[in-house]
Amino acid sequence: MKNKLAIIIPALLLAVGIGVAYNMIKENRVLPIYTPVMINPELVDESLRNERVRHRIASFELIDQDGNSFSEDNLKGKYYVSDFFFTTCPTICPNMSAQLQRVQKEYMDNPDLMIVSHTVQPEVDSAETLKEYAELYDADPSKWVFLTGDKKMIYELARKSYFAATTEGDGGVNDFIHTENFILVDKDKRIRGFYDGTSKESVDQLIEDISILAQEYEEE
C-alpha cells in the first residue's frame, strides 16, 4: 500500500503542477499584433509585403442583411471575427458558417464581440438573400452581420486589409475569392489572429484567443 501511495501521490502532484503551470501560461499569453511582414507573403498584396508598421483595417461602407448602411463606425468599441463567403457555396462555406455559429453561441452574452461575414458574390447575394442565409444559422443581427455592396471594396478589404485570400485580382467581373480564413480583429482595427474556418480545432483556438483578447481590454 505504501509503495502504491509513493507512486500515486507524486503523480497527482505532477498533474496538479502541470495544470497550474498551464493556467499561468494561458493567463499571461498575449496575442500578436500582425504587420504585413509577419504574414505569409502569398496572402499579402505585393505593395504591402515589406511593411513593418502596425497595420489597420481600412475604412469601408457596405450594406448589411437588413439593408442598412454598415461601416467601420458600427464596429467602434468592438473586437470581431471576419470572414468571406457566398450563400450558394456548396463546399467550405456551410462548414465555416456552422463554426461561426459556435463562436456566436460561446460569446452571445459578450457585447464587445461581433462577427462580420462578407459575401464575395455581391451581384448575387442581396441584403434579402443574406438575411435568409443568416436565419439558417440563427444569426443575431446585433451580434453577427452579413455584408454585401461594392465588389471592388469587398475584394480590396479581403486582399489589402484582412489578408484573407491568396489570389490576385482587381475586383472585376471575372475576379473571385474563395477562402476558409477567419481573421480576429481588435478594437483598434489591428489583426490579432488567423484561423482555418473549416477546422474545429482551429476554431477552438479562436474561441480561446477571443477570451485572451477580452482579458487584454479588461486589464486596461
Q: How far apart (Å, rounded) are the C-alpha atoms in residues 180 and 149?
A: 21
Beta pairing class for 144-147 and 79-85: unpaired
pLDDT at position 44, please?
82
3-state SS class at 31: coil
State the Cα–Cα distance between residues 157 and 129, nearest whole angstrom.
Answer: 21
User: Tell me: the pLDDT tens digits for 142-187?
Assistant: 999 999 999 999 999 999 999 998 767 666 655 568 899 999 999 9
Q: What is the mean pLDDT of residues 111-128?
A: 97
Note the pLDDT tens digit of each residue in 59-103: 999 999 999 999 999 999 999 999 999 999 999 999 999 999 999
Q: What is the pTM of this model?
A: 0.84
Q: Which of the 8 DSSP states describes residue 150? A: -
Residue 20 in this model has a pLDDT that exceeds 50: no
Q: Centre a 10 Å sphere on the Cβ of residue 181 and count the other Cβ atoms it contains.
A: 21
Residue type at 58 in one-letter notation: A
Residue entry with cell 486582399: 159
pLDDT, tens only, 38-71? 888 878 877 777 777 779 999 999 999 999 999 9
pLDDT of residue 23: 44
Beta bridge partners of 194: 183
Closest CA to 104 of 136, 57, 72, 73: 136
- Grade residue 5 by pLDDT with cuts at 50, 70 and 90: low
